[in-house]
Every structure is written in C-alpha cells, then in structure tokens.
Copies of this chain bind each other. A is one copy, B any other.
Amino acid sequence: MKPVVELVSTGSELLNGRSLNRHAQMLGARLDRMGFALARDTTVPDNLEAIQEALRAALGRVDVVIVSGGLGPTSDDITPEAAAGFFGRAVVTDPASLAALRKRYDRLGRPVTPAAERQARIVDSAAALSNPVGVAPGERLEVGGKTVFILPGPPAEFVAVLERHVLPWLDAAATDRPRSDRQSLMVCGLGESDIVALFDKAGFPPPELEVAYCAGPGRIEVRFGAGARGGDPESAAREAGRLLGGHVYSVEREEMEEVIGKLLIRGKTTLSTAESCTGGLLGGRITSVSGSSVYYRGGLIAYANDIKATRLGIPLEILERDGAVSSAVAGRMASAVRERFGSDFGLGITGIAGPDGGTPEKPAGLVFIALAGEKFVRMRKYRFGGDRDRVREWSVRMALDLLRRHLQGVTEPDAFGTDGP
C-alpha cells in the first residue's frame, strides 16, 4: 500500500455554513507526522448519490479512503446506507456496539430510544471499530484490495477512532517507506514577501529543495523538504534560520503559546495579562496549554473604561488626556496587572477591534500592546487590517511575540508595529 490516503467528508452542515470541516486538518496533521500524505478531501452533502460518487472517484485514485460523518441518530445520518448500497451489502446492527451503547446510556441515566439505537448499525461484514468517546462505532471495509474506513463525524469521536484503530492499521499496512525528511521554521513578525526577499537576496534556497509557506495571522510556517533531485532540508532550515534571525520562534512546529510557556518555565518567571479589546482571548490562548498554571497567574479584562481606573488604578487624567486606546494606557495596564497580580511580567492590550468605535484619529484596527517587567515597560503600536476577529487574533499573537522577543533577548522588532506612542 502506498502511503497516500483520501478523505470523503460527509455532511450538509459542512457546505451550508453551519459547521467548519475540521476533519481534513485533524487527519492531515496526523498522517503528515507519520510520513503519509492526505491527497484530497472531498466534502459532500448528506446525499446518497453524492457520497457514493465521491467514494467511487476516490477509490479510483488511492487504496485507502476514509469517510467521515453520517453515523448519528437522526434521519439525515445515512453514510452506512450509502456505503452498503455502494458495495451491494446490507446494513446490520453490531451487537457489541449496541451493548456498549445501552451501557453508556444507562450510566448517564438517559433513555435508549430507537433513534439512539440507530447509532449501532454498520455495513454487513465490516469490522466495527469501537468508539471510546461516543456511541457510534467506526467501521473498516475491505473490497477488492482497497480499504474504506468510516468514522463518526463529531471531531472528538473522529480523532478517537482514528487514533485507536485507523493510524495503527495504516502504520502496519504501509509497504513503501514513507517520506519523513522535512524541516519547518515558525516565523512571527515578517510578511511572506519579506521572507522571500531575504531569501532571494542570499540566493536561497537551492533549487533542488521543495519550499512551502503557510501563513496565518501573525504566523508563517516555512517548510523545507527534499525534492525529486534530493537536497538537505535540515541544513536548509539552519541557513534559513540565520537569514531570518529573531523572527523565528520555533524550529519544532510549536505554537507561540507553547514557546512562551517553556521560556517562562526555564526562567522560573510568571506572567499576568490586562486586556481590553481582546476581552480575555490572550488569557484564553495562554491557558490553552495544559500546565500553564505554573507560570500564568491570571488577568484582568478591563472592558469598560471605569474598570481600567477602579480595578487597575489607572489615573482618570491619563484616560482622559490620552484616551483609553493609547500607548500610555497600554503601558499602565501592563505594569498595573504585573504589580497587582504579583507576576514577573505583565502584558497589556488596548485597541479598537471594530467594525464600530473608530474615529479618524483612532481608526478600527488601531491597537497598543505593552510588556512590563520589573524595570521596564515596552510599548508597540499597530494598525491591523481585516475584521473584528482578525484584529483580535493579530493582537493576541503580537502580544505573545513581544514577550517572546524579550525572553529570548531578540533586539530586532517585528516588521508590523512601531515603538512608542
């Protein structure tokens, strides 16, 4: 079996805006780590013919197809019927899955309705794959040298059945040696074309290497892989690291909040946050790391202006003179929360997330970020583009990066902001 897989995501909710399709990313990330490739995701509605057509096309291209969704209790869950029809088999109830379902419902004190029992059905002669976090089992079908996995749609269940049953099977079945010689750099504080310009100036990278870029708000991954004619991704990544300097925040594909966490733990230092326009998202991001209670003490969400005065002690004359969205207030927020929460560092964010609330002098997207330490306060001013979500996401990223640069002793600033008021 070649280490290539296709995904068929089923669900009308993935195509009418109700839900975000997370399956391709969750599957792709895991296959990538194993050296496998996810060659395609085809997302189709809860429609028998569309599911069968996508399955037929995928099986024409690859040996292993994973189908997600449509195993639930409701009438629009029809993936077992679609697969059974495609392979000319019947749909049956899996006794072990039904017993597990009854046990689980009993434990939760919930009635086992006929709708609930529908979740124990599989295609005849398929192998049921137990679902450790839900009731609908996955299943594996072998037909004519090809393999089809059907997995439940809820993301936690999809991942649980994938990790318990599918990935080990793939690992054992792969005959070709999967590719694995790739190297990534995570960059914050430069744009894509800044990176390309720095590379071009240095005549980098050598043509035999494959380079891929993946950019998000305040975050670019540059990834090197050996091309058809060879090339050394590891030495390329080292050279790229030299060219990009302090803008590189990880060479191990970590998220910025993980990098920050490790640096704070290493220095035995602690952090607190004071947020206005981000409303708690910075704290939420920091605490997405399990174990962050070691270095994160907490924070204040000073959304109303008088809260900035009463709960952070920022003098009213400063709020009136400079305005709540100002470099001075960001600096005061950072140093006040640092002091009041007894942490080594304080981060402050104040800005106008938009779309409302802007003025010609202080337009939507204007954000001030400050870092306070024992003997310093560093302030940065940004003008972010895009909608409310994007402005808030950039604000969180650049606040974390401001701390990261300080902790790593990086002296060059990011390319997006300016210092001072």
Contact = CB atoms under 8 A, between A and B. Distances in A.
Given A154-B215, A283-B279, A14 B19 contact: no
Interface string A123-157: 00000000001000000000000000000001110
A200 B74 CA distance: 11
A228 interface: no
Contacts of A113: 193, 196-197, 200
Contacts of A20: 20, 22, 25
B288 A388 contact: yes
Contacts of A211: 74-76
A223 B114 CA distance: 21
Interface stretch (A37-45, A86-94, A261-269, A313-321): A37-45
A341 B307 contact: yes
A310 B353 CA distance: 31
Chain copies in the assembly? 2
Interface stretch (A167-175, A295-303, A366-374): A295-303
Interface in A303-347: 303-304, 307, 310-311, 340-342
A284 B277 CA distance: 9
Interface stretch (A28-36, A229-237, A241-249): A28-36
A164 to B, nearest CB: 14
A113 B357 CA distance: 36
Contacts of A291: 356
A193 B73 contact: yes
Nearest to A41: B43
Nearest to A30: B17
Given A311-B340, A388-B290, A300 B303 contact: no
Contacts of A355: 290
Most chain B CB within 10 A, of A44, A73, A273, is at A73
B19 A213 contact: no
A200 to B, nearest CB: 7
Given A45-B39, A213-B76, A283-B301, A115 B15 contact: no
Contact of A19 (B214, B280, B341): B214
12 contacts: A14-B41, A40-B43, A41-B42, A72-B213, A74-B213, A116-B193, A156-B390, A279-B288, A290-B357, A293-B304, A296-B303, A299-B301
Interface of A: 12-22, 24-26, 28-33, 37-46, 50, 54, 57, 72-76, 110-111, 113-116, 133, 154-156, 191-194, 196-197, 200, 211-216, 221, 223, 273, 275, 277-284, 286-288, 290-293, 296-304, 307, 310-311, 340-342, 353-357, 385-390, 392, 415
